[in-house]
Amino acid sequence: MHQFADWLSKTPLSLAIQTREWIIPTIQSVHIVGIAVVMGSVFMIELRIWGWVGRDQTVAQTTARFGPWLIGALAVLLVTGAVMVVGEPERELLALSFWLKMILVAIGTVVAVTFQRAVEQRDRAWETAIAGRRSVSAAAIVVLLIWFGVIVLGRLIAYDYVWGSWSLKG
């Protein structure tokens, strides 16, 4: 990984990003706006599952409203995240926080897509029975914690020393 990060940091694209100081802060800001869209969408779907908001809407209606924004924002995050990796390969690829974050992002994305499909296919069952299950409410808490974890780990990339010798930066 050290070799790959080193090679990536010397590619023309990476050098182009490195030499323009405004790019990284700008991309990071867009990245945060994207995270806000993800968090707002996830939060509203979770709150609907718990029955705390949007009781005039079915779970399927709530998911139809926020699901596409969630997926769209994830696409924006993938692109802006990729720019950050290319622009600062060592900062990202050698950080333990980065890889832990990627694992949580993968889990969160799979859960989001699977959930949306499940709700689309069994709209009425979700409304009458599934959403009320205690296991579903508990799963919603776990999903919210996964996205909180993504944010914490994302910020810890800048402070990867918190992991001590676990950090690949050594």
Q: Is residue 26 at the binding interface for another protein, with CB under 8 A as the rule?
A: yes
CB of 105 to another protein, least distance (A): 14
Stretch of 21-29, 76-84, 112-120, 135-143 contacting another protein, by CB under 8 A: 21-29
Q: Which residues of 48-74 are buried (b: 16+ CB within 10 A; e: fewer)?
A: bbeeeebeeebbbebbeebbeebeebb
CB of 6 to another protein, least distance (A): 21
Stretch of 77-85, 101-109, 127-135, 157-165 contacting another protein, by CB under 8 A: 157-165
CB hemisphere CA count around 74 (13 angstroms): 20
Q: Is residue 99 at the binding interface for another protein, with CB under 8 A as the rule?
A: no
User: Under 8 Å CB-to-CB from 98, ≥6 apart: which residues?
Assistant: 92, 153, 157, 160
| In contact, 48 and 59? CB cutoff 8 Å | yes
Q: Which residues bind another protein (CB under 8 A)?
A: 25-26, 28-29, 32-33, 35-41, 43-44, 47, 53-54, 56-57, 65, 69, 148, 151-152, 154-156, 158-159, 161-162
